[in-house]
Structure 1
Amino acid sequence: MVATYNHTIPYYYYPGWEKIQLILFRLKKHFSVEKKMKNELKVLRTDSSGYVLGQLTSGRVKFLKICGCSLLVVRQWFYSLSFLHLVITALVTLSIDVTVDEDASVRAYHRIRWKLITCWFNLVALAYLPLCLYCDWCEKQEKEPPHVTKLRVVRDVIMTAILLPTTTFADITFWVTFLYDPSIIAPPRVFEYLPYWSQHSLHTVSMVTVIMDVLLTPRKRPETMNLHLGVMVGFGTAYTLMVYVSFLQGEPVYGFLSTASTTTFFSVYFIFLIALTISFYAQWLVIDYVWGSKKTRIKQIINQNKKFNVTKKSIFTIIITVIYLVLATYEFSTAYRYICISTSSYE
């Protein structure tokens, strides 16, 4: 099916929805703007966080719309609800007292829960979400403080180098192991104290949150990945060292580590880093596709005689999604298979 694309559509729309609009062009799913800009958008520069800056007197993304609603407003509601949900989940789960159990391993979980990777990335998210709200609030002001630009860089590094790789790894690994054998993670009686919905709040909603953040926040691939990779490896190494110290002290953080050797432990560490790295680079495929460069967007959108094949674009979108899912499934299945082999060898 071939459709002629309308060259009159302005190119300052939300790029991710532009691509969806291209796919569903025949269904007339398109954006709306609250008001048209009086002057043509003249791009002056692009800052380090990936925003396209132009003659916008009211903010960087104030004119970006999703179904008629400001992207900035959507983000503020999204961050507010995510933060509120995370706070409520933390208050409920941390108030559960497992020290009354007769099993010593269950009582020890009262201390171990602070060492779980789920706890770590959720604590990072508790600091990240207010930071996002503050940056968006400053963006609505007529004149934002000069330090906000640096805060945006910090915000993007936290998301792309820590939250997204760690959250995707932890959540998928948790559900694979939890559905197969919960004892690999913790003593089974521990899960009797936790309401089932809390598992989804901690290991499902968290992954949805980071994915939505990637789709709603403009970013661009940095010229060099050294900073991001350094932060990611540093965070992963710091967490692994903490788990290893706890292991040496006779308090394994995860059930499968109770009989693991030092060699097995560090093998899991390298698998952990490989999994984080794959997730890290996979996210940039999505970011590049959703928040493509200005030149690419103009080439796709502003061309009067351009023909667009809906089927090919649909197939391309499916391929991108499948590649990401295959990479994620492969990395976590590899880690899980190694864990099963390690635990079975000590039985």
Structure 2
Amino acid sequence: MTPRPKGVYHISAFSWYAFVVMTLAAKDGEELPPGIFVYGGPWKYLTFLNLLLQMLFFGLAAVSDLQDEKNSNNTLNRCPDLIFSVFAFPVGMFVVVLFWAIFAYDRELVYPATIDTFLPPWINHAMHTFVLPLLLGEILVQPHAYPQTKNALATLGLVGIGYLFWILWVYFSAGIWVYPLLGHFSAVGLLGFFCFNMSVVTLLYLLGDKLNSSTKPQQRQKKKKKAK
């Protein structure tokens, strides 16, 4: 695609995420369902952290679009590639896949019905559904340079361990689990669930790499046609 449609896509996606985040921020002060924002507020939820991650990525991508293509190797232009490949795509897809899988089984384990009185259904879909088409659209709009797989997965693993420690910190500090589902596991079960989740994230990273690679030949053909 030409730079202009690409820029419009990035700005639109950034604006969408900014709107969703501001809508959630405006909920501060309203009557909350019991325990929803106890200790750590929304910062303990992977869904909210993912919203900020997606907003950061699309914001950086929009700024990068303003740069001269001749300077495509500078830090500002490489940063969106790194964030998208290692974090935005696998984490965003993980949030969508895991949330709806658990929600379909028993929503009370991950998104209790009491939250519906606080967050309207469209916000639920903004956080847990629309992330997927926006990420797939990004791959079609602009393929990204992926790092070495071992380095990317090592980084993802460290981030995953960091989030696990954050969840445990919240539990031992406030006596609540970030997600009700976690309270049903023993210590061994919790470790197994974490390993399972990291396996899913790994597969999603590899999926992103595969999809990204499959679009590159198409992009090259478009560039050749424009050059003729």
Given the two structures, how large is their TM-score scaled by the length of structure 1? 0.58
Number of the residue aligned with 2:99 = 174
Residues 286 and 186 of structure 1: is their aligned pair in 2 closer, same or farther, counting only changes over 3 Å?
closer
Query: Relative to 1, partners in 2 of residues 1:98 and 1:179: Cα closer, same or farther, differing over 3 Å?
Result: farther
Q: What percent identity do the matched residue pairs reach? A: 17
- Tell me whether 1:127 sits opposite 2:63 in the alignment: no
Kept in 2: contact 1:121–1:167 (CA 8 A): yes
Contact 2:40 2:170 in 1 (8 A): no
Contact 1:168 1:207 in 2 (8 A): yes
SS of alignment partner, residue 138 of structure 1: coil
For the pair 1:273 / 2:198, whether they are aligned, the reply is: yes
Higher helix share: 2
- Tell me if 1:115 matches 2:70: no
- Cross-structure match for 1:316: none
| Cα distance between partner residues in 2 of 1:153 and 1:104 | 43
Q: Which residue of 2 aligns with 1:292?
A: 217
- Cα deviation for residue 117 of structure 1 reads 0.8
Partner of 1:37: none
Q: Give CA-to-partner distance per residue, 1:18-38, whole Å, 9 cap, x none.
A: xxxxxxxxxxxxxxxxxxxxx
Whether 1:95 aligns to 2:26 is yes
Q: Distance in 2 between matches of 1:104 and 1:279?
A: 33
- In the alignment, does 2:3 pair up with 1:79? no
CA deviation after TM superposition for structure 1 residue 214, in Å: 1.5
| Structure 2: distance between partners of 1:129 and 1:87 | 10
Q: Would you say how many aligned residue pairs link Structure 1 and Structure 2?
A: 222
Query: Radius of gyration: which is bigger?
Result: 1
Alignment-derived partner of residue 258 in structure 1: 183
TM-superposed deviation, 1:277:
0.6
Residue 230 of structure 1: CA displacement? 2.3
Instruction: Measure how far apart 1:98 and its partner are.
Output: 7.1
SS in 2 for 1:291: helix
Q: Is the CA contact (8 Å cut-off) linking 1:106 and 1:189 kept in structure 2?
A: no
Show structure 1 runs of 5+ residues with no match: 1-64, 302-347
Q: Which runs of 5+ in 2 are unaligned?
A: none
Matched residue type, 2:20: T
SS, match of residue 292 in structure 1: helix
Q: Who is 1:105 aligned against?
A: 35
Give the 3 Å change call, closer, same or farther, for CA 107–203 of structure 1 in structure 2.
closer
Which residue matches 1:208?
A: 133
Q: What is aligned with 1:311? A: none
TM-score (ref. length: structure 2)? 0.85
Q: 1:97: Cα distance to partner?
A: 4.4
Structure 2 CA distance, aligned partners of 1:236 and 1:106? 22
The separation in 2 between residues aligned to 1:177 and 1:88, in whole angstroms, is: 27
Deviations along 1:44-103, one digit per CA (max 9) or x if unpaired, are xxxxxxxxxxxxxxxxxxxxx4xxxx2x111111111111111111111222247635x6
1:1-347 alignment, distance < 5 Å: 65=1, 70=2, 72-97=3-28, 100-101=31-32, 104-106=34-36, 108=38, 111-139=40-68, 144=71, 149-220=74-145, 222=147, 224-249=148-173, 250-292=175-217
Contact kept, 8 Å, 1:220 with 1:288, in 2: the verdict is no
Instruction: Give the C-alpha shift of residue 126 in structure 1.
Output: 2.2
CA contact (8 A) 1:113 1:119 kept: yes
Question: Aligned partners of 2:143, 2:68: CA distance in 1, in Å?
Answer: 13
For 2:179 and 2:120, locate their aligned partners in 1 and report how far apart those are by CA, in whole Å: 20
The letter of the residue matching 1:260 is F
